[in-house]
Protein backbone atom coordinates (compact mmCIF):
# COMPACT_ATOMS: atom_id res chain seq x y z
CA UNK A 1 0.00 0.00 0.00
CA UNK A 2 1.30 3.42 -0.99
CA UNK A 3 1.23 5.82 1.94
CA UNK A 4 0.48 9.22 0.48
CA UNK A 5 0.77 12.53 2.33
CA UNK A 6 -0.43 15.99 1.34
CA UNK A 7 1.67 19.12 1.96
CA UNK A 8 -0.93 21.86 1.53
CA UNK A 9 -0.41 25.60 1.42
CA UNK A 10 -0.62 28.84 -0.47
CA UNK A 11 3.08 28.79 -1.47
CA UNK A 12 2.97 32.49 -2.40
CA UNK A 13 5.87 32.36 -2.67
CA UNK A 14 7.52 28.98 -2.07
CA UNK A 15 10.19 29.50 0.61
CA UNK A 16 13.24 27.56 1.80
CA UNK A 17 11.09 26.53 4.79
CA UNK A 18 8.60 24.84 2.45
CA UNK A 19 11.43 23.08 0.63
CA UNK A 20 12.80 21.70 3.91
CA UNK A 21 9.33 20.48 4.94
CA UNK A 22 8.44 18.81 1.63
CA UNK A 23 11.82 17.08 1.33
CA UNK A 24 11.49 15.69 4.85
CA UNK A 25 7.91 14.56 4.18
CA UNK A 26 9.12 12.84 1.00
CA UNK A 27 11.63 10.88 3.09
CA UNK A 28 8.88 9.74 5.49
CA UNK A 29 6.06 8.86 3.08
CA UNK A 30 5.91 6.82 -0.14
CA UNK A 31 4.42 9.72 -2.09
CA UNK A 32 3.86 13.40 -1.32
CA UNK A 33 1.48 15.74 -3.11
CA UNK A 34 2.25 19.42 -2.71
CA UNK A 35 -1.27 20.86 -2.89
CA UNK A 36 -1.46 24.54 -3.78
CA UNK A 37 -4.58 26.33 -2.61
CA UNK A 38 -6.36 28.21 -5.39
CA UNK A 39 -7.28 31.85 -4.71
CA UNK A 40 -5.88 31.99 -1.19
CA UNK A 41 -5.12 35.71 -1.37
CA UNK A 42 -6.84 38.56 -3.19
CA UNK A 43 -3.50 40.10 -4.18
CA UNK A 44 -1.10 37.21 -4.70
CA UNK A 45 2.49 37.75 -5.69
CA UNK A 46 2.34 34.85 -8.15
CA UNK A 47 -0.67 33.54 -10.02
CA UNK A 48 -1.85 30.01 -9.34
CA UNK A 49 -0.29 28.83 -12.64
CA UNK A 50 3.03 30.48 -11.74
CA UNK A 51 3.04 28.90 -8.28
CA UNK A 52 2.34 25.45 -9.71
CA UNK A 53 5.13 25.90 -12.30
CA UNK A 54 7.63 27.10 -9.68
CA UNK A 55 6.87 24.30 -7.20
CA UNK A 56 7.02 21.68 -10.01
CA UNK A 57 10.42 22.98 -11.12
CA UNK A 58 11.87 23.00 -7.60
CA UNK A 59 10.71 19.47 -6.74
CA UNK A 60 11.31 17.91 -10.18
CA UNK A 61 14.43 16.10 -8.84
CA UNK A 62 12.44 14.54 -5.98
CA UNK A 63 10.81 11.58 -7.69
CA UNK A 64 8.07 10.84 -5.16
CA UNK A 65 6.73 14.41 -5.07
CA UNK A 66 3.79 15.55 -7.22
CA UNK A 67 2.34 19.04 -7.43
CA UNK A 68 -1.32 19.96 -7.89
CA UNK A 69 -3.68 22.86 -7.28
CA UNK A 70 -6.75 22.35 -5.12
CA UNK A 71 -9.88 24.24 -4.22
CA UNK A 72 -12.48 23.74 -1.51
CA UNK A 73 -11.99 21.82 1.71
CA UNK A 74 -8.54 20.34 2.20
CA UNK A 75 -9.89 17.16 3.80
CA UNK A 76 -12.15 16.49 0.79
CA UNK A 77 -9.18 16.88 -1.52
CA UNK A 78 -7.02 14.67 0.73
CA UNK A 79 -9.77 12.04 0.77
CA UNK A 80 -10.12 12.10 -3.04
CA UNK A 81 -6.34 11.61 -3.35
CA UNK A 82 -6.41 8.72 -0.87
CA UNK A 83 -4.02 10.49 1.52
CA UNK A 84 -3.33 9.10 4.99
CA UNK A 85 -1.86 12.35 6.30
CA UNK A 86 -1.65 16.10 5.97
CA UNK A 87 1.86 17.38 6.77
CA UNK A 88 2.36 20.84 8.25
CA UNK A 89 5.44 22.57 9.63
CA UNK A 90 5.66 24.21 13.04
CA UNK A 91 7.94 27.19 13.58
CA UNK A 92 6.62 28.64 16.82
CA UNK A 93 4.00 28.60 19.55
CA UNK A 94 1.87 30.89 17.40
CA UNK A 95 1.99 28.35 14.58
CA UNK A 96 1.11 25.61 17.05
CA UNK A 97 -2.06 27.39 18.22
CA UNK A 98 -3.29 27.94 14.69
CA UNK A 99 -2.19 24.58 13.32
CA UNK A 100 -3.61 22.62 16.23
CA UNK A 101 -7.09 24.08 15.83
CA UNK A 102 -6.94 23.55 12.06
CA UNK A 103 -5.88 19.93 12.52
CA UNK A 104 -8.67 19.32 15.04
CA UNK A 105 -11.24 20.81 12.67
CA UNK A 106 -9.90 18.70 9.81
CA UNK A 107 -10.04 15.59 12.00
CA UNK A 108 -13.62 16.45 12.99
CA UNK A 109 -14.54 16.73 9.30
CA UNK A 110 -12.62 13.63 8.15
CA UNK A 111 -11.28 11.34 10.90
CA UNK A 112 -9.54 9.10 8.34
CA UNK A 113 -7.04 11.85 7.42
CA UNK A 114 -4.61 12.65 10.22
CA UNK A 115 -2.22 15.59 10.52
CA UNK A 116 1.51 15.13 11.05
CA UNK A 117 3.51 18.10 12.34
CA UNK A 118 7.20 18.49 11.60
CA UNK A 119 9.23 21.05 13.55
CA UNK A 120 10.81 23.39 11.07
CA UNK A 121 14.59 23.43 10.66
CA UNK A 122 15.99 26.00 13.13
CA UNK A 123 17.85 27.74 10.32
CA UNK A 124 14.58 28.65 8.57
CA UNK A 125 12.31 29.20 11.56
CA UNK A 126 12.08 32.95 10.80
CA UNK A 127 10.94 32.41 7.21
CA UNK A 128 7.32 32.80 6.15
CA UNK A 129 5.72 33.62 2.79
CA UNK A 130 4.02 36.62 4.38
CA UNK A 131 7.30 38.16 5.58
CA UNK A 132 9.13 37.32 2.36
CA UNK A 133 6.38 39.08 0.41
CA UNK A 134 6.60 42.12 2.67
CA UNK A 135 10.39 42.32 2.43
CA UNK A 136 10.27 41.99 -1.36
CA UNK A 137 7.48 44.53 -1.81
CA UNK A 138 9.48 47.03 0.26
CA UNK A 139 12.58 46.51 -1.87
CA UNK A 140 14.50 44.20 0.48
CA UNK A 141 16.79 41.30 -0.40
CA UNK A 142 15.07 37.90 -0.24
CA UNK A 143 18.19 35.91 -1.18
CA UNK A 144 18.49 32.75 0.91
CA UNK A 145 14.83 32.96 1.95
CA UNK A 146 13.42 31.48 -1.25
CA UNK A 147 14.77 28.93 -3.75
CA UNK A 148 16.90 30.45 -6.57
CA UNK A 149 14.10 29.98 -9.13
CA UNK A 150 11.76 32.13 -7.03
CA UNK A 151 14.46 34.74 -6.51
CA UNK A 152 15.11 34.87 -10.25
CA UNK A 153 11.40 35.35 -11.00
CA UNK A 154 11.14 38.09 -8.40
CA UNK A 155 14.19 39.81 -9.84
CA UNK A 156 12.66 39.62 -13.32
CA UNK A 157 9.40 41.00 -11.99
CA UNK A 158 11.23 43.94 -10.46
CA UNK A 159 13.31 44.50 -13.60
CA UNK A 160 10.11 44.74 -15.64
CA UNK A 161 8.99 47.26 -13.07
CA UNK A 162 5.80 45.30 -12.66
CA UNK A 163 3.29 47.14 -10.54
CA UNK A 164 3.35 45.82 -6.97
CA UNK A 165 0.95 42.88 -6.95
O1 LIG B 1 0.23 28.24 3.40
P2 LIG B 1 -0.97 28.49 4.26
O3 LIG B 1 -1.70 29.71 3.77
O4 LIG B 1 -0.63 28.54 5.73
O5 LIG B 1 -1.95 27.22 4.06
C6 LIG B 1 -3.22 27.18 4.67
C7 LIG B 1 -4.06 26.01 4.12
C8 LIG B 1 -4.08 26.03 2.60
C9 LIG B 1 -3.47 24.70 4.58
C10 LIG B 1 -5.49 26.18 4.69
O11 LIG B 1 -5.92 27.49 4.47
C12 LIG B 1 -6.50 25.22 4.07
O13 LIG B 1 -6.46 24.04 4.31
N14 LIG B 1 -7.39 25.77 3.20
C15 LIG B 1 -8.38 24.99 2.49
C16 LIG B 1 -9.79 25.23 3.01
C17 LIG B 1 -10.07 24.39 4.24
O18 LIG B 1 -10.05 23.19 4.22
N19 LIG B 1 -10.37 25.10 5.35
C20 LIG B 1 -10.66 24.49 6.62
C21 LIG B 1 -9.39 24.38 7.46
S22 LIG B 1 -9.74 23.74 9.06
Domain boundaries, the chain: 4-161
Q: Which atom of ligand 1 is nearest to the CA of 10?
A: 1
Cα–ligand 1 centroid distance for 158 (angstroms): 29
> What is the secondary structure of 55-74 as a DSSP string?
HHHHHTT-TTEEEEEE-S-H
Q: At the fourth CATH level, which superfamily is domain 4-161?
A: HUPs (3.40.50.620)
Looking at the DSSP bridge assignments, the partners of residue 4 are 31
pLDDT of the chain along its 165 residues, tens only? 899 999 999 999 999 999 999 999 999 999 999 999 997 677 899 999 999 999 999 999 999 999 999 999 999 999 999 999 999 999 999 999 999 999 999 999 999 999 999 999 999 999 999 999 999 999 999 999 999 999 999 999 988 865 555
Catalytic pick from 10, 18, 51, 153? Answer: 18
91 is catalytic: yes
Taking the centre of ligand 1 as the mean of its atom positions, its distance from the CA of residue 10, in whole angstroms, is: 8
The answer to whether residue 155 is catalytic is no
Please pick, among 42, 43, 63, 108, the residue that the annotation labels catalytic.
42
Nearest protein CA to atom 13 of ligand 1, as residue: 74
Q: At what angle do helices 48-59 and 148-159 cross, to 10 degrees?
A: 140
Amino acid sequence: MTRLAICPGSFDPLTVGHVDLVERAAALFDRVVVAILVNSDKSPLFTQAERVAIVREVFAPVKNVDVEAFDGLLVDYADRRGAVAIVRGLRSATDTDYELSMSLMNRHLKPSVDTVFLPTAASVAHVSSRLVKEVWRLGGDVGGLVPPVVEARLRAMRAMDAPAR
